[in-house]
Amino acid sequence: MSTNEMARGLRNNNPLNIVKSPDFCWLGEVKEGGDKIFVKFETMPQGCRAALKLLRTYYEKHKCNTICRIIRRWAPETENNVQAYIKTVSLLTGIAPTTLLPPMKEETKIVWCDLTVAMASVECGLDQHGREVMAGYVDIGWQLLNP
């Protein structure tokens, strides 16, 4: 598969398609020659770190403590099939859409890493092999977030 055939999130090392903000700069963000809408990261682990950091903010600051609440905030209904997104993430994680998620801590790492991989699967169209590869990147992203 050529680079141009890859999903945008994969090309940008941004598996959850984080939108650029003029007021914020991410660790590893590529400023020149990147995407006009979405952040481009130097490496996939840096993109995964950013995704985990945003998910933690959603949980702590915005009280998005279920898959349903996270997806509804992450993927606006005006641009996404939110019900399908929620259903897929719930199926891939084995967590019901309205089940309360635990706080993001080392002992709950698997929950948050699985959630990130499942969301990347929806955002980038990952198959089983792609999810396995992404899980490795998310694990490194977790380590970058929690050194």
Tell me: pLDDT of 33 over 80: no
What is the structure's pLDDT at 9?
96
pLDDT digits (tens, 9 = 90+) for 58-108: 999 999 999 999 999 999 899 899 999 999 999 999 999 999 999 999 999
E strand or H helix at 44: helix 44-62
For residue 1, what pLDDT band results from cuts at 50, 70 and 90? Answer: very low
Tokens of 136: 């490795």
Tell me: pLDDT of 124 over 60: yes
Tell me: pLDDT of 3 over 70: no
- CB-CB contact of 67 with 87 (8 Å): no
What is the CA angle 107-111-116, rounded to 5? 130
pLDDT above 70 covers what percent of the chain? 97
Give the chain's mean pLDDT. Answer: 94
What is the structure's pLDDT at 4?
58
Sign of the CA dihedral running 47, 13, 84, 77 = positive
Q: Please report, for the chain, how many H helices and E strands are present, in that order.
A: 6, 0
Furthest CA-CA distance within the chain:
41
DSSP string computed for 48-114: HHHHHHHHHHHHHHH---SHHHHHHHHS-TTTS-HHHHHHHHHHHHT--TTSPPPPS-GGGHHHHHH
Distance CA 25, CA 146 (A): 19
